[in-house]
Amino acid sequence: MKEHREIYVNGQWIFSRSPGLIAVINAATEAVMGRVPEGVAEDVDAAVGAARAAFDAWSSVPVAERADWLDKIAAGLAARADEIAHTITAEVGMPLKLSRRVQADLPPQVMASHAKLAREFPFEERVANSLVLYEPVGVVAAITPWNFPLHQVVAKIAPALAAGCTVVLKPSEMAPLSAYILAEVVHATGLPRGVFNLVCGTGPVVGEALAAHHGIDMISFTGSTRAGRRVSELAARTVKRVALELGGKSASIVLEDADFPRAVKSTVSSCFFNSGQTCSALTRLLVPETRYEEAAKLAVDAARSFTPGDPTSADTRLGPLISEAQRERVRGYIAKGLEERAELLLGGAEPPERLDRGYFVRPTVFGRVSPLMTIAQEEIFGPVLAILAYKDEDEAVRIANDTVYGLSGAVWSKDESRARAVARRLRTGQVDINGGSFNLMAPFGGYKQSGHGREFGRFGLMEYLEVKSVQLPG
């Protein structure tokens, strides 16, 4: 068991001002696998003070040198990839083979990509008689979620450090252990004191203290839309910059000329990836009414292959959810789907067979879902797919756009130009066409209540930069 009684502030491991500890629970066994400090506002004050004191010097470090530090951190994370994968599989429940590829391998790639980008980015440019400067926004508070605990951390701190900002990180208290590995890696590189700081604790205490703190210049938050609203309210008091990556209810539109077996299988895989605990998951499958029965059968057949089981087993495709509370939330949505008369095609709220321990939920598929049903409107964050039928392309687009969210989406058609035309009509931050793969250099973020701001590539770097115009004599 990993027990951390310290936080990382000003380049040192120091005891929290609070004696309290938060238990970290193994999602598959329900056993305590670690403990971290239950931080308090005084810890935030210390971390923000350290970051504030370090900012002037760090922002003055040449960009090439900052990039070198990022490369060192990337190498340190890569060296501990196996430990990271096992840790996150235990915390979150993602099958180990996926954790190795996603939870462990992606963060060093993201860190290295920002090192390369920093070396290439034009931090100043001439516009007529003006010199336009891109300068770091200041001290950044990064508040991150539990579903991709290290990946989401690195997606924030890599561009922030590359830009010349200093950082205070609050990881999710439900999956904080990989953040401690990151802090150990940072410490081993010799990164200047105060540039990176780590404070654990709950959202209502540490998160709110950061959002309201007068010494923080920017909040970058990933989490629920409800929590994002609260962060925005608190940050508004000091007119901080706020970047939010929130919930989603993404639609996969399968047009009548698409490769149905491929499209439906891919949509189910997206919906059930990380046990459905993915904000950009394709949780609504939109199919033509004339091909509904075919699509429903394909979806059920694909979903049957996601048998819940031990996430450390090589054969497991569906691990547990993060917590008992999340499991009960997802079961509640399944019950709501039945109450609103959606057709249950597979799964249900009953516990999976032969799994007496762990926060497991059956892979569930609902058919004949109407657009206004709760399971078609609200983010479930579990392995629950809703199939909706549409009459024509215009109705498909209307249904896809008819939620408060706009994070992701997909369009499938044998005619790529037609798919692109439909993609342009979707009010969402990213759209995959015929299974287009994730691109680390492309912007990631949402429309509407899925948030604002972008991560990854130069778009992510620019979130952490202020723009200054210097007028020169003619």
Please, are residues 211 and 141 in contact by the beta-carbon 8 Å criterion? yes
User: In the 8-state DSSP scheme, what is residue 278?
Assistant: -
For CA atoms 284, 289, 294, 300, the dihedral sign is: positive
Q: What's the Cα-to-Cα distance from 69 to each of 25, 64, 411, rounded to whole Å?
A: 33, 9, 40
Distance in angstroms (rounded) separating the CA atoms of residues 230 and 219: 12
Alpha helices in 285-323 (DSSP H): 292-304
245 tagged catalytic? yes
- β-bridge partners, 137: none
The active-site residue, picked from 279, 379, 455, 463, is 279
Please, are residues 397 and 425 in contact by the beta-carbon 8 Å criterion? yes
Structure tokens at 241: 């910059």
CA gyration radius, the chain: 23
Please, are residues 47 and 163 in contact by the beta-carbon 8 Å criterion? no
The active-site residue, picked from 245, 379, 455, 463, is 245
- Collect all residues with Cβ–Cβ distance below 8 Å to 39 and sequence separation of at least 6: 7, 16, 17, 18, 170, 199, 200, 201, 205, 206
279 tagged catalytic? yes
At 53 the three-state DSSP class reads helix
Q: Which residues are catalytic?
A: 245, 279
